[in-house]
Structure 1
């Protein structure tokens, strides 16, 4: 049963580095400011997800290629988004997406979005992961569960997204006991709808639960005449504040 778990004290000389993982902004033509900010010198970025058109798209996109190239030249990993559809994605389709991401955008790894979390689905996700690592040497693999999965998943990915959702849930969320056996660098939290006044509290929750890669935003899921908006597609209104607070190092 999940419960709040206090991280073990860091050993002498160990530095817990908190940084941002970008779940995927809108297309560079629709969000030029957002993509431009990602190359700001000193921005505390761990990686940026590239999602051209629910994956790599059907042909190379020059705007996405340029944006991804600038980020990689800045020394930041670019990850291609592959939707696993909670285990319902065909293996060959997923691998086709991966090959196009590698061929067209030279990505450094992959976010397996909508990754299943059950024990029964682990063998297929392990199979996909093994193949992805063979395709891309040194590929960084992130499982986008959005919740705490069966612990065996942690043995296969570089990082796990163990929370993805609204601030109203996150502020009362709990870490699974087994996560205390791993360093914070293995876990990611994506949280939307955080007011500026609660940003420090959210950072404390992430540190307490042991997640070193985060993405916090005040944007929310909103339904209007144009449809439901994605809170990850645009930059948070307090981007400068969060870059400043994380970039200078956060401490207890």
Structure 2
């Protein structure tokens, strides 16, 4: 079973049990959790998120701050401000850049963002493409992890990873799958392994906001 990267996009006050369950699973099961306070860090610290982040850090789970890059259209400075706020307010270990462009023309933009993130102290940088991008995004020294699939269970069963992914270890890739039937948990794990995803997450909920649910395979407390 691949380790989990969990986009936990539900407020801790709304579903504290989900946060407790993820923390209880520990780092052997959960590699990292993506914090998404308000499609970014928001305008001011949220003390409930601060406490929830502290709970996860105490369990040894890495925290990644969510920042929407709008496929390269969002200003560099605005994205960097997101990650600095996450660090100051929630003590995150790294950043999850979402809505990342997949074409090679945007590589220079993302290299600058990643350089800024590293300079700011981000130990982990994730690029959330949601699909397989140009192979250049997997170059050594760029991002630690690429999210190369985000979609529903039906689409995931038809996924054919490009040949270039075979030149990299599974630990470089993550797949996020929603609308997965609860009785297909084992099938999902086998398929993620076959697709060479070292990290993954499956939830039973559909769009429009599937990532408010606890990942399949975790026990709610």
Shorter-chain TM-score bucket reads over 0.9
Report the TM-score, using the length of structure 1 for normalisation: 0.82
Computing the radius of gyration from Cα coordinates, the structure with the larger value is 1
Q: 1:240: Cα distance to partner? A: 3.3
Q: Secondary structure at the match of 2:211?
A: coil
Q: Deviations over 1:160-181 (max 9, x none)?
A: 0000000010011111110111
Kindly tell me: are residues 154 and 72 of structure 1, through their superposed partners in 2, closer, same or farther at Cα, counting changes over 3 Å? Answer: same
What does residue 39 of structure 2 align with? 54
Which residue matches 1:231?
Answer: 210
> What is the CA distance between 1:200 and its match in structure 2?
1.9
Unmatched segments (≥5 aa) in structure 1: 1-16, 222-228, 242-252
Deviation at 1:237, TM superposition (A): 6.2
Q: Is contact 1:31-1:234 (8 Å) kept?
A: no
Structure 1 Cα separation of the partners of residues 218 and 59 of structure 2: 19
| Paired residues for 1:1-252 under 5 Å | 18-42=2-26, 44-136=29-121, 139-155=123-139, 156-221=142-207, 229-236=208-215, 239-240=218-219
Which 4+ stretches in 1 moved above 3 angstroms? 236-241
**Mapped partners of 2:43, 2:145: distance in 1:** 28
8 A Cα contact 1:145 1:160, kept in partner = yes
- Describe the superposition over 1:134-176 as per-residue Cα deviations: whole angstroms up to 9, x where unpaired: 001x520000000000111112100000000000100111111
SS of 1:239's equivalent in the other structure is coil
**Cα pair distance change 1:192/1:110, threshold 3 Å:** same
RMSD of the TM alignment (CA)? 1.6
Counterpart CA distance in 1 for 2:78 and 2:126 is: 18
TM-score (norm 2): 0.94
Number of equivalences:
217
Deviation at 1:239, TM superposition (A): 3.2
**Alpha-carbon separation, structure 2, partners of 1:139 and 1:56:** 18
Write the distance in 2 (CA, Å) between the matches of 1:234 and 1:218. Answer: 7
Cα shift at 1:204: 1.4
